[in-house]
A and B are shown apart, each in its own frame.
Chain A
Amino acid sequence: MVGSALPRVSATVILAKPALQRIFDHLCESGFQLIGPTVRDGSIVLDSIRNLSELPVGWALEQKAGSSHLLRTHATDYFAFTVGPHSWKRYLFPPQVEMLTARRNGNGWVFEPTIDDTPPFAFIGVRSCDLHAIAIQDDVFVNGSVRDPHYAHRRERAFILAVNCSTVASTCFCTSMNTGPRARSGFDLVLTELPDSFAIEIGSEAGSNVFAGIDWQPASAFDVGRVSQITQRTERQITRQVTTSDLPQLLYNRIDHPYWDKLAARCLSCANCTLVCPTCFCSTVEDSSNLSGTHTKRTRLWDSCFILDFSHVHGGNIRPTTKSRFRQWMTHKLAAWIEQFGRSGCVGCGRCIAWCPVGIDITEELSALRSLGAR
């Protein structure tokens, strides 16, 4: 079917691997900035890409508690790697975003919003865990009573090409969090990499439209079966398990547990876990002025509950110890989040485990707290 019909929404099509470049080109021509995985800084990170060749073909991340190593493999797959330190929140909720300016006018000020001229993003290779993470940040920034226009502007225009995972890291535990490995919703397209081609499920009109002028074949029952086989195999490979049925009470019952002191003795309070976490949303604001003080920019920056100043009020910090800050992070992520937004703040991506410099493993700590009983 050359260029004639577009695939319908929820259909699965087969695309020759090199033809994915045509989809990339199509998105670029439509004004999207493509963001995808690429090898840089000794890891697989997210960055602006244009070509299939920029994807980390032949590279993988070997991840375990406290380490993530970039390895050469001989695989020719485009998406046979696991999540790196970056998540899509870098683009939807950037580490730094200018919110407004204040200009002196006589003895007063004029406040003006900063216009965001970022082009729309097309995210390439979003994993199921990260799709859930995006939905969780939607809860915070756009689904509540107040909308954040900065997030909404980027989110609403984003095109999402998701990927069903075929490779597993030892840090992955999406099956426990009910967030993967198969992408079920929240994408425009979802791709499963078969040995010889891509099987692509159409998730939206926008996803269907990128097939204009592109050779595609409807997927046969055999192809659909291969997709299921791959995701089922991936699911079986995920061995890390964590019980969540007794949350939030499990953690609330252990707020005064001495085990937090043991954890604090290992934790460096470096905030790495909150920076790599795809759902952590805390931020601060900063004013910066010109030398004459007539012009001020107000910037929103990522913040972290591990930073001492985070809880500062007149007279001191509410959480002056590493113990109290670690407890805040873990009880918010796994317990309080459920009451706030109706679901856990953890998607089981394992980033905080791999990128913790001392290898603190949230799944093991939860099990340890459980085995120690309420206190």
Chain B
Amino acid sequence: MIENIIEINKGELLSKISEMHVQGQRLITLSCAEDDDGFMVLYHFDNDLKMTHFRVKIGRDEPLESISHIYWAALLIENEISEHFGIKVNNLALNFAGTLVLAKDSPKAPLLKKK
């Protein structure tokens, strides 16, 4: 299994990510997967080749808070998650509104298994 995963709630997400920013850790990426009752989002950080991970669980129709005001580079991957899985993301620094990887006549939310 993966070492060093910390489970946090939705409410303390922004404060934990700001702590990582102050420590100077590099954001690797976000990963999203579908569970039976909702979604699970993982945040991966790296500090001199040592990794730390945060896990957040959200329900099927709940929105996700964006971290792009702290780490600007996260907006590309959050746009892609919202297009692939149909999750609503609040407070994005730059919102592509469904045109980043999908086109106007593509199927909606293609990686979602249970519609």
A and B associate in one complex:
no
